[in-house]
Amino acid sequence: MRRKENPRQLLQSVIRAFRIAEMLAEEGELGVTEIDGRLGIDKSTAYRILATLREMGYVRQNPLNSKYSNTPKFSLLGGTAPDMQLIRERARPVLRSLSERVGEAVNLGCLDGTDIVYVERIQCNEMIQVNLPVGRRMPAYCSALGKAILAFLPAETVEKLFSGTSFVQYTERTVQSLSILLAELEAIRSDRFARDLQESHPGLSCLAAPVFLASGKVGAGISVSFPAFRHPDMEEAERTIVPALLDAAVNISGELGYSGRNHEHDLPGRQPVPEKKRQEE
């Protein structure tokens, strides 16, 4: 039977820090005023806790709206959370093979609030290369990697993440609103891959696919990035690149224990992801 702690032995600052972390995990992104209102604490206390968590690397502040969100560092604390180091290790040889197969740079990324964070990269041998270094952040709504992950989250989660978000127009092709993003994510679920056709940077194109965990939940994404001029015919590029990209995503998901049979239960009514291809004996 669990012993009840003496209230005087409990540190309120620790309790508040974890409650803030739990709120951010549930809501995705919150401002100081929203946090102090929900917890019933003064703004200066909420700010000091957030500043401490940010200094330790557990939360980040969105420069566009000053709101806070958790970072992937929390995954180091829980065995059930996505272990990005494990995913990187399992993905690296597959990414290297994919890069050799398509002749372009490939990336592994995870979702952090409303951003995508690049956690692994294999560069190609072309003289003109796409430079998306590890640690680089990019809004998920204008990233193929981001959209590949968002497409396999519950729609209500995506709506919470981007509700009230200003969709900054990085190019004339950038997604302009939440309704447009949700419609695109529906198509991505059907196609099983996402596109960034010069939406984040002029001249940069990307194709991406989701990576699933043993639980059936999406845990990361992989992408192939290339200068648009190198593949001016995108239909031809997709015919060449997408089959290799999907094979790589399936292989990484399989390495992480995903069987392909449990994901459809997480998103009822949505297009299920086909089962992982059987390996030839």
Q: What is the pLDDT of residues 222-272, one digit of tens each?
A: 999 888 888 888 888 899 999 999 999 999 999 888 877 544 434 433 333
- The predicted-structure confidence for 132-143, as pLDDT tens digits, reads as follows 667 778 889 989
Q: Do 151 and 210 form a contact (C-beta atoms < 8 A)?
A: yes
> What percentage of the chain reaches a pLDDT higher than 90?
31
Tell me: do 65 and 111 sit in the same domain.
no
Q: Of the given ranges (1-5, 80-84, 97-101), which has the lowest mean pLDDT?
A: 1-5
Q: Are residues 103 and 239 in the same domain?
A: yes
- Is 16 part of any domain? yes
For 19-44, what is each residue's pLDDT tens digit? 898 888 777 788 999 998 888 888 89
> Are both 231 and 104 inside the same structural domain?
yes
Domain assignment present for 79: no
CATH assignment of the domain containing 37: 1.10.10.10
Residue 76 lies in a domain: no
Q: Both 106 and 202 in a single domain?
A: yes
Provide the token pair at 265: 């239960």
**Both 127 and 88 in a single domain?**
yes
* pLDDT value of residue 228: 80
- The count of structural domains within the chain is 2
Q: Which two tokens stand for residue 104?
A: 């372009």
Number of residues that make up the chain: 281
DSSP string, 104-163: SEEEEEEEETTEEEEEEEE--S-SS-----TT-EEEGGG-HHHHHHHTTS-HHHHHHHHT
The chain-wide mean pLDDT, for the chain, equals 81
Comparing 146 with 69, the larger pLDDT belongs to: 146
Res 11 pLDDT > 90: no
Q: Are residues 159 and 36 in the same domain?
A: no
Judge whether 138 lies within some domain: yes
- Start-to-end CA distance of the chain, whole Å, equals 50
Q: Does position 207 have pLDDT exceeding 90, yes or no?
A: yes
Q: pTM of this prediction? A: 0.65
For residue 13, the enclosing domain spans 7-70
pLDDT at 133: 66
Note whether 124 and 169 are same-domain residues.
yes
C-alpha distances (whole Å) from 62 to each of 70, 165, 166, 196, 231 are: 11, 11, 12, 22, 34
Nearest 5 degrees, angle CA 159-CA 268-CA 157?
Answer: 15
Q: Are residues 94 and 33 in the same domain?
A: no
- 249 and 122 in a single domain? The answer is yes
Indicate whether 109 and 162 sit together in one domain. Answer: yes
Instruction: Give me the CATH number covering residue 171.
Output: 3.30.450.40
Mean predicted confidence (pLDDT) in 149-153? 95
Q: How far apart are alpha carbons 159 and 162 in whole angstroms?
A: 5
- Angle CA(33)–CA(153)–CA(46) in degrees, nearest 5? 15
